[in-house]
Structure 1
Amino acid sequence: MPRSARIVLPYTPHHIVQRGHNRQIVFSSDDDYNYYRENLIYFKQELGCKIYSYCLMTNHVHLVIDPGANPESLSLLMKHVAGRQTRYVNKLEKRTGSLWEGRYKSSIVSQKEYLAACCRYVELNPLRAGMVTHPAEYQWSSYPCKGEGKKDLVVDLDTNYLALGSSESERQAAYAEYVFGTVPDHELKLIRDSLQRGQLTGTHRFREEIFLKHGIRFSNKGPGRPKKIKK
């Protein structure tokens, strides 16, 4: 039985996670990380996507991507970047087969309500994994750019971030304070559950807005895919 088509919306952030096949290592050297980043930069520009946050862990990646005008750009970006990384690693290791799980997970994110929270969730991954004691110590994420001003061509600054201050230093300080603030348990649970189930990361009002605008009904009450409603 074919899998249901993934719902992707234009001009809307999507939280993405893609894991290595059988949780195997994806990045084993700086060159591996850099190659993946280079392809993110190339294809986001080629396809008109924006990347608001990212974190490359050893066996998976987290991305927050806005596909822009064409929803298909998101899946194309993921396909091209994952494919190039697979060919790159297979050539280095003289192996064959897929580097990744067959299907990445995604959740549509309410920009107003949960984009900042999802970015924080993504950038705190190395801390939760016990790899570093401060997100700025982890070079393979968007935090050094947004929290400390390190140049990073992968990162696009969203309107919420730009509203944090009138100067780069003000925005960086405000963002750092937010990232290290208390993360409510319900926020963490919503982000994780929504991503796992392919549901919306947002409130009931956001779900209603999506229904009225796109005719797609989401439910965050349990597992299941959204349905398109004929009006």
Structure 2
Amino acid sequence: MARLPRLFLPGCAQHVIQRGNNREACFYTEADYKAYLSMLKDAALKYEVAIHAFVLMTNHVHLLMTPGDEQSISRMMQAQGRKYVQYFNFTHGRSGTLWEGRYKSTLVDADNYLLTVNRYIELNPVRASMVTHASEYPWSSYQGNALGKPIQLLTPHLLYRRLGKTAQERQMAYRALFRGRMPEQELAAIREASNKAWVLGDDRFRRQIEAKTGRRAVPAGRGGDRKSARYLESLNQ
């Protein structure tokens, strides 16, 4: 079956996940993380992609970004991915593929989910029990969004800029978002959309995507199974 084109809406952020092949590690050393971020910054600039949040885990990567046009993200991921594989294979004396097929991408309803996805991405190391707090992990955008560390790769989203009038106010308000645990319904909604590459948003946002693209924004209902309309509705409540 031919693959459907990825969903796209001008100005709409996307949550992208890229995993290592067979869940193998994509980063061995500190130099690997630094090389990936440097290459990502160059590719994002070249293909006009604004990156709002990221985390580099041992065997996968999460990115939240807004593309300049319909091909921006795919071109960026292809160029950056190819360059990093060349670096990684040469540095570690290996050959062959590094990434697991196509990256997954999900359109994100900014008004309802953008800062939630920011939080989801930057809390990955905490959920994986690698650290006890997001501030302890060096390879995520939390260092910039919450602590003010200069990260040239990052472009603040409009909703982030609205958190405060000054950088200090924005960082303080952003840190407040990380108090307590994320609700299980939010985690389930993000994972469902990410795993199936569907739209993450409310009904209005989904209808807008469907009207603009001429394609379904969520799976069709299947009676009583987990993909039924009732289940999807519960994720948004």
Describe the SS at the equivalent of 2:146: helix
Following TM superposition, by how much is the alpha carbon of 1:182 offset from its aligned partner in structure 2, in angstroms? 4.2
Amino acid of the structure 1 residue aligned with 2:189:
L
What is the CA distance between 1:38 and its match in structure 2?
A: 0.5
Partner residue, 2:196: 197
1:60 aligns with 2:63: no
| Structural mapping, 1:65-84, within 5 Å | 65-68=65-68, 70-84=69-83
Who is 1:3 aligned against? 3
CA contact (8 A) 2:55 2:63 kept: yes
> What percentage of residue pairs aligned between the two structures are identical?
39
In 1, Cα distance between equivalents of 2:52 and 2:90: 31
Partner of 2:51: 51
How far did 1:10 drift? 2.5
Alpha-carbon distance, 1:181 to partner: 3.9
The equivalent residue for 2:123 is 124
- 1:32 equivalenced with 2:32 (yes/no): yes
Unaligned runs of 5+ in 2: 222-226, 229-237
Distance in 2, matches of 1:194 and 1:211, equals: 15
User: Which residue identity is paired with 1:112?
Assistant: D
Structure 1 segments unaligned to the other structure (5+ residues)? 224-231
Distance 1:102 1:16 in 2: 13
- 1:94, CA displacement in angstroms? 2.4
CA distance in 2: counterparts of 1:35 and 1:141, whole angstroms: 14
**Normalising by the residue count of structure 1, what TM-score does the alignment of the two structures yield?**
0.92
Does residue 22 (structure 1) correspond to residue 57 (structure 2)? The answer is: no
Letter of the 1:193 counterpart? E
Aligned-partner Cα distance in 2 for 1:151–1:15: 22
Q: Give the number of aligned pairs.
A: 222
CA distance in structure 2 between the aligned counterparts of 1:181 and 1:93, rounded to whole angstroms: 40
**Native 8 Å contact 1:19 1:61 kept in 2:** yes
Contact 1:114 1:201 in 2 (8 A): yes
Distance in 2, Cα, partners of 1:104 & 1:154: 20
- Is the contact made by 1:8 and 1:72 (CA closer than 8 Å) also made in structure 2? no
Equivalences for 1:145-224 in 2 at 5 Å? 145-220=144-219, 221=221, 222=227
